[in-house]
Amino acid sequence: YNSKSGLMILQSSDLPDDPIQLMLSNSLGQFLYATTLFTNPLLNLDLKDYPQGIYFLYFRYHNQQRIFKFLKP
């Protein structure tokens, strides 16, 4: 996360063949953003308009889910 630009850059060199659902939620469980990744291993999330706080990134694929927690200062 780059706090000056407000951008979070997500990059993967090992994407599964199936689409990946990506969702962003705040600490209250409100989903703020959702997209589906197909083949592009690079995604820029613009977080500059979101307030400071704790956020969660959800990745869903192949009936699996991974959750990453991060703090926006």
Contacts of 16 (CB under 8 A, 6+ apart): 61, 62
Q: Taking the C-alpha atoms of 8, 52, 49 and 55 in order, what is their torsion angle to the nearest 10 degrees?
A: 50
Q: Determine the pLDDT at residue 50.
A: 93
In the predicted model, is pLDDT for residue 20 greater than 70?
Answer: yes
The pLDDT, as a whole number, for residue 63 is 86
- pLDDT tens-digit readout, 28-62: 999 999 998 876 667 888 999 999 999 999 989 88
